[in-house]
């Protein structure tokens, strides 16, 4: 059946009117032939007429280059070994680069090429090759890069820097300007809601991937390369960018957060200073500024985050009762966030031995701690593993049936437990 389709395509190509003045008969014939074969996914047959058109008439059309990538991706997918796949990848890259030569649109095409190289290349050098192409794309976008390119570019930058395939200076010059642009666009409100949503997803991914970087070396690089004039002019943007890179331990971040706070002591400014103190393990100042941030904030989700950070800081200061109070406030403001519940579970579980001498009384606290770990798991599936680990740990400390019997407590009964001055309700189980 496939041979019949291919024969029909060949016949169709032969019947094309070749009298057009602007295109040569040979070019029209090659175009029609490969196009007909591409339509029926006969990639191996379509490659020859495409290559002839590509070599002899490179200005034929921009669509020809888009079609060429489709043809060679089809061949790539059918290849049986990495040597063949890399050869097809080379051809795809050549198609992209020639498209730029004759039809421009460099920023877009370098971006597409880089993303394809990252997906297709079967070699250890694939990420660096893709990164260099995307780097060209980003620079050519003149201050407003496409977010699909940005997403891949920033992830590659983090991966390559953590693997020491690019130095920290290159990482800084690659990541910081792009992050600054994104935050400026969000702050200006010049983009639609889709842009903001996609940008925030990218920023969250960058923050996660940046955890693998050498934070001390990054901080030193940021302090060395960031001009004071930039800090003074864009303090709020710099704070956001450096927080995303987990670089809120740098002197640059401290200076920017100070400028930001003095100019306008908002919740965001107070939180920026708090993050600096947290990174430098000054938990008293951390608590002070996160408390101010939480009290000034009007958005429930951000306020919840600030109360969680305040709770965490108080836990690190061993002020456990205050930590639980603020964690409960955090959970009330954002029921979809389980981290506050998990913090309470950890505080109760860690303090159980010192809160009760009696085995049964201590065991009741572990019931409550396990309840909070279960709440964390239900609120946020991403906390599943950590929550289950605590639940299993605490389950080994539950009271036995015999101990419960001695205290007139039956399985399944609801009891009240006082923990760190808080009255908690739990169910007896063994």
pLDDT tens digits, 139-198:
999 878 999 999 999 999 999 999 999 999 999 999 999 999 999 999 988 888 899 999
Assess if residue 55 is contained within a domain. no
If asked whether residues 359 and 422 sit together in one domain, one would say: yes
Pick from 307, 335, 363: which residue ends a domain? 335
Q: Phi, psi (5° rounding) for residue 426?
A: -145, 170
Please spell the DSSP secondary structure of 336-402, one letter per residue: T--HHHHHHHHHHHHHHHHH-SSHHHHHHHHHHHHHHHHHHHHH-GGGHHHHHHHHHHHHTTSPPHH
The pLDDT value recorded for residue 19 is 39
- 12 pLDDT more than 50: no
pLDDT bin (cut points 50, 70, 90) of residue 26 is very high
Cα dihedral sign for 81, 82, 85, 87? negative
If asked whether residues 236 and 186 sit together in one domain, one would say: yes
If asked whether residues 369 and 301 sit together in one domain, one would say: no
If asked whether residues 318 and 342 sit together in one domain, one would say: no
- Cα 299 vs. chain centroid, distance in angstroms? 23
If asked whether residues 280 and 193 sit together in one domain, one would say: no
107-148 tens-digit pLDDT: 999 999 999 999 999 999 999 999 999 999 999 998 789 999
Contact 130, 121 (CB under 8 A): yes
Assess if residue 135 is contained within a domain. no
Pick from 335, 352, 384: which residue ends a domain? 335
If asked whether residues 148 and 240 sit together in one domain, one would say: yes
31-65 tens-digit pLDDT: 999 999 999 999 999 999 999 999 999 999 999 99
Assess if residue 212 is contained within a domain. yes
If asked whether residues 357 and 381 sit together in one domain, one would say: yes
232-285 tens-digit pLDDT: 999 999 999 999 999 999 999 999 999 999 999 999 999 999 999 998 999 999
Pick from 320, 335, 350: which residue ends a domain? 335
pLDDT bin (cut points 50, 70, 90) of residue 2 is very low
Assess if residue 414 is contained within a domain. yes
Assess if residue 128 is contained within a domain. no
Assess if residue 31 is contained within a domain. no
Assess if residue 18 is contained within a domain. no
The pLDDT value recorded for residue 203 is 95
Q: From residue 198, give the alpha-carbon distance in Å to each of 111, 178, 192, 223.
A: 17, 14, 10, 29
| CATH number of the domain within which 329 lies | 1.25.40.10
If asked whether residues 314 and 357 sit together in one domain, one would say: no
The pLDDT value recorded for residue 16 is 43
Assess if residue 306 is contained within a domain. yes
If asked whether residues 358 and 323 sit together in one domain, one would say: no
Domain interval for residue 416: 338-430
Contact 331, 343 (CB under 8 A): no
The pLDDT value recorded for residue 13 is 45
The pLDDT value recorded for residue 23 is 81
If asked whether residues 331 and 352 sit together in one domain, one would say: no
Contact 153, 135 (CB under 8 A): yes
pTM beyond 0.85, yes or no = no
Count: domains in the chain? 3
If asked whether residues 314 and 360 sit together in one domain, one would say: no
- 7 pLDDT more than 50: no
Distance in angstroms (rounded) separating the CA atoms of residues 130 and 84: 19
If asked whether residues 158 and 172 sit together in one domain, one would say: yes
DSSP-derived letter for residue 416 is E
Distance in angstroms (rounded) separating the CA atoms of residues 361 and 399: 8
Q: Phi, psi (5° rounding) for residue 367?
A: -60, -45
Percent of the chain having pLDDT more than 90? Answer: 91
């Amino acid at each position: 059946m496939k041979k019949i389709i291919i024969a029909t395509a060949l016949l169709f190509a032969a019947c094309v009117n070749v009298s057009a003045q602007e295109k040569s008969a040979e070019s029209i014939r090659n175009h029609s032939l490969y196009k007909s074969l591409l339509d029926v996914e006969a990639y191996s047959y379509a490659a020859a007429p495409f290559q002839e058109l590509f070599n002899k008439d490179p200005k034929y059309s921009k669509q020809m280059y888009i079609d060429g990538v489709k043809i060679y991706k089809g061949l790539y997918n059918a290849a049986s070994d990495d040597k063949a796949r890399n050869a097809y990848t080379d051809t795809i890259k050549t198609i992209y680069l020639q498209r730029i030569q004759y039809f421009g649109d460099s920023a877009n095409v370098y971006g597409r090429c880089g993303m394809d190289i990252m997906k297709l290349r079967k070699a250890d050098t694939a990420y660096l090759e893709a990164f260099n192409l995307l780097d060209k794309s980003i620079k050519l976008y003149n201050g407003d890069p496409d977010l699909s390119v940005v997403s891949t570019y920033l992830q590659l930058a983090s991966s390559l820097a953590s693997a020491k395939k690019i130095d920290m200076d290159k990482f800084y010059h690659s990541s910081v300007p792009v992050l600054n642009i994104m935050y400026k666009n969000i702050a200006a409100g010049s983009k639609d809601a889709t842009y903001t949503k996609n940008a925030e997803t990218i920023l969250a991914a960058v923050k996660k991937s940046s955890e693998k970087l050498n934070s001390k070396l990054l901080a030193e690089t940021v302090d060395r390369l960031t001009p004071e004039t930039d800090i003074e002019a864009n303090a709020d943007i710099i704070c956001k960018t450096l927080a995303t890179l987990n670089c809120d331990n740098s002197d640059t971040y401290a200076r920017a957060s100070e400028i930001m706070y003095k100019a306008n002591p908002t919740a965001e400014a107070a939180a920026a200073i708090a993050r600096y103190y947290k990174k430098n393990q000054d938990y008293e100042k951390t608590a002070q500024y996160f408390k101010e941030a939480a009290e000034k904030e009007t958005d429930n989700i951000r306020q919840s985050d600030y109360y969680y950070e305040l709770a965490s800081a108080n836990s690190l200061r061993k002020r456990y009762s205050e930590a639980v109070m603020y964690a409960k406030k955090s959970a009330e403001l954002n029921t979809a966030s389980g981290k506050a519940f998990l913090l309470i579970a950890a505080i109760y579980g860690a303090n159980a031995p010192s809160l009760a001498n009696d085995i049964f009384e201590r065991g009741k606290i572990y019931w409550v701690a396990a309840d909070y770990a279960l709440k964390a798991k239900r609120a946020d599936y991403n906390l599943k593993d950590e929550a289950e680990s605590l639940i299993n740990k605490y389950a080994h400390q539950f009271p036995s049936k015999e101990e419960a019997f001695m205290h007139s407590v039956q399985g399944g009964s609801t009891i009240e437990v006082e923990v760190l001055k808080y009255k908690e309700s739990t169910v007896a189980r063994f």
